[in-house]
Structures are given as C-alpha cells and as structure tokens.
Amino acid sequence: MNLPPYLAWLDNQTLWLTMLAGSVGAVWALSEIIGEFRAETGRALRTSGAWLLVIVNFGAAALIFLLAINLAPAARNWLSALFIGLAWPTVFRNVTLKLAQPLGETKDAETAAIRLEQVYANVQKLALQLINSVLTRQRARLLAETLRFDLEEIVNYTRRMIAISPQQQKPDDKLTWIDSLLERDIDDDAKKTYLVALVMNDFTRGALDDFIKEHKNRRA
C-alpha cells in the first residue's frame, strides 16, 4: 500500500493487531460493567471509573500481545491477537511474579511476590467504587426531588409499574413487600426511599423521571 509519509503508520500491521487485542480486552471491561450495573450501564460508561477499567483492560491485552509476538514472532497474526484479547484475564489470574526466594526455604516460608490477579482486582475495585459513587449521587438527587410528593402517590405509581411490566418477575411478592413496608414502624421518607429504589432498580431512572413530570403537571 502506497501511503503518504504522514500516513505510513496506517500500514503497520503490528499496530492494528495490537489494537485488535486491546479492543477485545476492553470488551471484558464492558461486560463487567454491564454485569454490575445493568440498567445503569449507559450512565456508568460516562464516569471516570468506567474509563479507568476499559483503559486498563485495553492496555493489559495489548501489552500481553506485544510480549507474545516478541517471544514468538509467529504469533503475529489476526487469530493470535483475537485469542490473546479473549484470554488475557486467564493470564492475569495465573501469573505470580516472585521478587525474592529465601535461601533454605521451608514449605511454609513466605516469599516476596506480586500476584497480578490481586493487582487487577484492586484496580477493578477502585473503578467500580468510582462508578458507584457517581451513580449514587445522581440517584440521591432524584430521590430528593421525589420525596416532595405524597407517599400515597408513590405507592400507587409503584404498584401500577409492577402490574403493567411486560417482564413479570414474581409481581405478587413485590406487592406483598410493599404492603409489609407500609406497615413498618418507620417514617414516610424512609418508606418513600425504599419505593423509589424499587422503581429505579426494576424500571430504570427514566420511570422515576416520568413520575415526577406527571405529578408536576397535575399540580400545575
């Protein structure tokens, strides 16, 4: 391929293979975020924690691919890049870097070592905490707005959402739970908080936005 000098890097096959391995690795991060936050995935992906997790996954898979093709040049192909991108978490979970080995070591002697699995687990935990913090603050602001409405209005809306949901997951259990919640000896704001959490967790934040708009219009 004849490219201008300033576009010569586009003809670098190693670059594209590395990008492929990294991109497949980044999909692992996306799957972790989806599995953890489900309906909140869209908002989660707009946080710094999500980008941290995606970049770490991308970088780790790309780095492992570069190490692999340096140790085994024959691995410089699309299939290997794809496989390494898919398999890199397995590498991290099974590699320990020993920094020191005591002389005359006994069975129970401890060695100075870095477990890559633990390193990644710490990064993952930090990223998920950052995401959770942002989403919780956003939900708290929405809760504060909802608390201005009457408990009866929130209860009725929650019951309607459960009744008309196309994906029925034990609706009777949820309705029974609402009845038991209303009988608990706690203040109305606490009851509202539990109901708002149920609506947001089962029907997304958009359902609560609809409730607020609907009742604001009624009052207007």
pLDDT in tens, 32-64: 999 999 889 999 999 999 999 999 999 999 999
The pTM score is: 0.80
Q: How far apart are CA 126 and CA 48, in angstroms?
A: 11
pLDDT of res. 148: 93
Pairwise CA distance, residues 76 & 78, whole Å: 7
In this prediction, residue 107 has a pLDDT band, given cuts at 50, 70 and 90, of: very low
Per DSSP, what are the bridge partners of residue 114?
A: 97
**Residue found by looking up tokens 């490219």 in the block:** 3
Task: Say yes or no to pLDDT of 103 above 60.
Answer: no
The backbone torsions φ and ψ at residue 6, rounded to the nearest 5 degrees and listed phi first, read -75, -10
Q: Is the dihedral of CA 156, 168, 213, 134 positive or negative?
A: positive
The 10s digit of each residue's pLDDT in 3-14 is: 666 556 566 789
Question: What is the identity of the amino acid at 27?
Answer: V
